[in-house]
Structure 1
Amino acid sequence: MSLPRLRLERCTDLGGGLWRIDEGQARHLLKVLRAASGEELEGLGGGQRWRLKLEISAEGVFARTLYPIPEKGCPPRIVLLASLLKGNDFELLLKGVTEIGVSKIIPIAASRSVPRYSQEESIRKQLRWKRILEESTRQCGAPEIPELSPPASLDEVLETGLPPLRIAGFLEERAVPIGSVSPKAEAVVAIGPEGDWDDQEKQLLLHAGFCPVRLGPFVLKACTAAVVACSYLVLAWEAVALGENRGKKVPDPGPGMPDEPV
């Protein structure tokens, strides 16, 4: 069973490895999780995970640092260009790609994106999206909260500095299987709205050096497509970083494992 998790950015660093837990997270620990003084917690912040001990006194609710938790591997830095989606699909997308380990998310106001936000609505949405990202990191244990940019048009974003490995989901025959793309330590993924990018947006992406990819034999919802594309890049890079080769024979697990399916 995983330990209760805290976002340390919301806590006050008192020095000497002691943190004052903010009111919201303290209330969740005590009222919802029924945590008691002396229990261990996991702290997330600054790209690092920490083992903590809960301390409750008349002065407040605190967490004391015990030791850092070593990270496994070195995940790639993935920038996601995610078209705005209707309903709660965009929020599902945010949760899914945060669990995968995306580093930065740039919402794209594509021509076929249904949502059209006023400036005031956009500000409210961004605040809600940031809360969703933070809550998702606490659920999955990601040490860093993905950076969230304000919504922008595709042509504006393509003029900014993006990683050299660039792939875009396309619903057409010229798209290559995503499995044929060699993963890199940095990549950018562009996922269009329901119904795909329009022709002008596809040309913009191709001109900017994006490789059109398909994400399987069937048509995926946009929120699913984002998770699938980012998952491939993370897992494929993990295999490269571990020195694994595609098609390498799996070692014999030894006695105790059946040779035939059960």
Structure 2
Amino acid sequence: MDRFLGSKRSHGILLIEGEELNHLFAKRLKAGQELEVFVEGKLYLCTLEKLSRSYASCLIKREIENPTPLPMINLYQCVPVELKNMDLIVEKVSEVGAFKLTPVISDRSFQSKGVIEKKLERWKRIALASFKQCRRPKPLDIDQPIHLKDIRADAQLNLFLDSFEKERSIKDLNLNGIKTINLVVGPEGGFTSQESEFLKSLGFLPIRLYPYILRSETASILGVGLLMNLSILSLPTYQE
């Protein structure tokens, strides 16, 4: 079933306008057909009631309450110096199941917090587009940027990727029953030794992805995807 972003809600009617309306026309939907519409943070099953050149009106049938798959992964992503590479990271970690993405400023990352903040709306739009395509229950949450020193090890399992780690890989982790994971991924060139020791002091476990040293964006996508797929949980889903 096709999914669209609504512009506003009025009682039991949702409106689709602007660029989303063009997408609806491209899908050749007709009045009376069912579709999913996301508006004001909620997803609805609707019937297309009226289609015009300026808007489409959709009659709400019911709210769709899909559970969020576990584990809930917060990806702390050190922002690449090539800032455009964050577009790919946002799109792909959304597809493989990250719950939240928090941009991080580290010694070797992109440094301007102000520039990063200006990119947040773009990344949120990319996350919404991915939400439509991969049929997540909710869009990837994009958080405000932070500095590495402000990271907290507040999940059940706290990890960071370290190319020089020799003792532990993802397959060595006990993921049974884990519902929340913080995963920290460094920038190009990795973490400095001081940063690595700082993360360890907070309680983050270093892990390595085998067999080769990966680019930061590849490591993020693979790391999140493996953690999602290798998790063996006592509860298969989690409903907010």
Q: TM-score range by the shorter chain?
A: 0.7 to 0.9
Stretches of structure 1 that go unaligned for 5 or more consecutive residues are 243-262
Tell me, what secondary structure is at the counterpart of 2:212? Answer: coil
Q: Tell me the amino acid that sits aligned with residue 229 of structure 2.
A: L
Return the alpha-carbon distance in structure 2 between the equivalents of residues 105 and 79 of structure 1: 6
Return the alpha-carbon distance in structure 2 between the equivalents of residues 130 and 109 of structure 1: 19
Q: 1:88 offset after TM fit, Å?
A: 2.9
Contact 1:46 1:143 in 2 (8 A): no
Return the alpha-carbon distance in structure 1 between the equivalents of residues 192 and 116 of structure 2: 23
- Please show how residues 114-133 of structure 1 align to structure 2 within 5 Å: 115-117=110-112, 119=114, 121-133=115-127
Q: For residue 151 of structure 1, what is the aligned residue in structure 2? A: 145
Q: Tell me the amino acid that sits aligned with residue 170 of structure 1.
A: D
Return the alpha-carbon distance in structure 2 between the equivalents of residues 215 and 239 of structure 1: 22
Larger radius of gyration: 1
Contact 1:77 1:186 in 2 (8 A): yes
- Please show how residues 112-261 of structure 1 align to structure 2 within 5 Å: 112-113=108-109, 115-117=110-112, 119=114, 121-158=115-152, 162-183=154-175, 184-237=178-231, 241=235
Q: 1:178 offset after TM fit, Å?
A: 0.7
Q: Tell me the amino acid that sits aligned with residue 112 of structure 2.
A: Y
Tell me, what secondary structure is at the counterpart of 2:151? Answer: helix
Q: Tell me the amino acid that sits aligned with residue 77 of structure 1.
A: M
CA deviations 1:177-234 (Å, max 9, x no partner) are: 1111122101100000111111111011100111111112111111111111111222
Tell me, what secondary structure is at the counterpart of 1:105? Answer: strand
Contact 2:157 2:181 in 1 (8 A): yes
Q: For residue 87 of structure 2, what is the aligned residue in structure 1? A: 91
Contact 2:105 2:113 in 1 (8 A): no
TM-score (norm 1): 0.79
Q: 1:118 offset after TM fit, Å?
A: 6.0
Tell me, what secondary structure is at the counterpart of 2:231? Answer: helix
Return the alpha-carbon distance in structure 2 between the equivalents of residues 189 and 118 of structure 1: 21
- Please show how residues 7-86 of structure 1 align to structure 2 within 5 Å: 7-8=5-6, 11-16=7-12, 18-30=13-25, 32-44=26-38, 49-57=43-51, 60-69=55-64, 71=66, 74-85=69-80, 86=82
Could you say if the C-alpha distance between residues 240 and 234 of structure 1 is closer, same or farther in structure 2, counting changes exceeding 3 Å? farther
Contact 2:73 2:183 in 1 (8 A): yes
Return the alpha-carbon distance in structure 2 between the equivalents of residues 136 and 195 of structure 1: 28
Stretches of structure 2 that go unaligned for 5 or more consecutive residues are none
Could you say if the C-alpha distance between residues 212 and 57 of structure 1 is closer, same or farther in structure 2, counting changes exceeding 3 Å? closer
Return the alpha-carbon distance in structure 2 between the equivalents of residues 95 and 231 of structure 1: 13
Q: 1:60 offset after TM fit, Å?
A: 3.9
TM-score (norm 2): 0.85
Identity %: 25
Q: 1:45 offset after TM fit, Å?
A: 5.6
